[in-house]
């Protein structure tokens, strides 16, 4: 069971995340500090395949970096339009306008002042455009960057494509790559051997960062609404929000 020191600040769990919090291996993940992740003089570059991925996975990290006035660059690969076009309640045009606005509002609540670099790739098509994405990312990166993105085996094709493209671009530029599980928390079982636990590190979030992250999650007002969808729900499910509000973040270094 997760140690009291880690679990005491967790929100009320639901059925999806309770098992994770009870898994002893979660507390055994080696902790890592901000300075170890992003050394002095380095820039944190967060590459998000969809609006909200950067907040769900790394909102606490971003809040702590912003509080230290560290250099941050957010790269928004897509605007998350494709999933919304398949819902009954969100026509494509209004939805396309709202997602970047919600994402920017969330980043502002984390203390990130600069607007994201928007690449404008089509949502749902990154797998076939992976090489092109790597080519677009490469000139944006430098050898002093630490590149954070979604794990290459996270599940959703866009998440995996972003991970592969970032790995290629970072290797070409000499940048360091850090991957984050986002959807894997919801399809994998605690201790699942398919996840690279030996590379896992746990970043504790201080009270201020945790508060900022939870408020940033609330910025996705439209996505927090529970409306039925035909194919693929663009909304943030309770499990995703609950898991993202834990007082720590896990990443694969």
3 state SS for 57-97: HHHHHHHHHHHCCCCEEEEEEECCHHHHCCECCCCHHHHHH
Q: Which domains does the chain have, with CATH numbers?
A: 40-252 (3.40.50.10320)
Residue 158 neighbours by CB under 8 Å, 6+ apart: 49, 50, 77, 78, 123, 124, 126, 127
Give the pLDDT confidence of 217-251 residue by residue, as tens digits. 888 876 665 444 333 344 455 667 777 788 999 99
pLDDT at 101: 83
Give the pLDDT confidence of 83-99 residue by residue, as tens digits. 444 444 444 545 556 77
User: Residue 100 CA to chain centroid, in angstroms?
Assistant: 15
Residue 49 neighbours by CB under 8 Å, 6+ apart: 77, 78, 126, 149, 150, 156, 158, 159, 161, 162
């Amino acid at each position: 069971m997760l140690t009291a020191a880690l679990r005491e600040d967790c929100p009320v769990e639901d059925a999806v995340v309770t098992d994770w919090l009870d898994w002893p291996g979660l507390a055994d993940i080696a902790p890592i500090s901000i300075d170890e992740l992003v050394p002095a003089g380095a820039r944190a570059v967060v590459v998000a395949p969809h609006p909200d991925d950067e907040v769900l996975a790394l909102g606490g990290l971003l809040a702590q970096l912003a509080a230290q006035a560290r250099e941050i660059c957010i790269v928004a690969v897509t605007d998350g339009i494709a999933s919304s076009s398949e819902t009954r309640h969100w026509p494509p045009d209004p939805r396309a306008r709202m997602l970047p606005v919600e994402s920017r509002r969330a980043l502002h609540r984390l203390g990130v002042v600069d607007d994201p670099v928007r690449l404008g790739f089509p949502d749902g098509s990154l797998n076939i455009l992976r090489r092109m994405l790597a080519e677009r990312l490469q000139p944006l990166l430098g050898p002093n960057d630490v590149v954070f993105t979604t794990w290459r085996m996270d599940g959703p094709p866009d998440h995996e494509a972003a991970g592969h493209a970032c790995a290629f671009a970072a290797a070409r530029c000499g940048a360091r790559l850090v991957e984050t599980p986002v959807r894997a928390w919801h399809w994998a079982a605690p201790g699942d051997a398919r996840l690279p636990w030996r590379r896992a590190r746990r970043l504790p979030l201080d009270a201020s960062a945790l508060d900022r992250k939870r408020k940033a999650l609330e910025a996705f007002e439209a996505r927090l609404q529970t409306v039925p969808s035909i194919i693929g729900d663009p909304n943030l499910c309770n499990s995703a929000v609950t898991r993202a509000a834990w007082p720590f973040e896990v990443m694969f270094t």
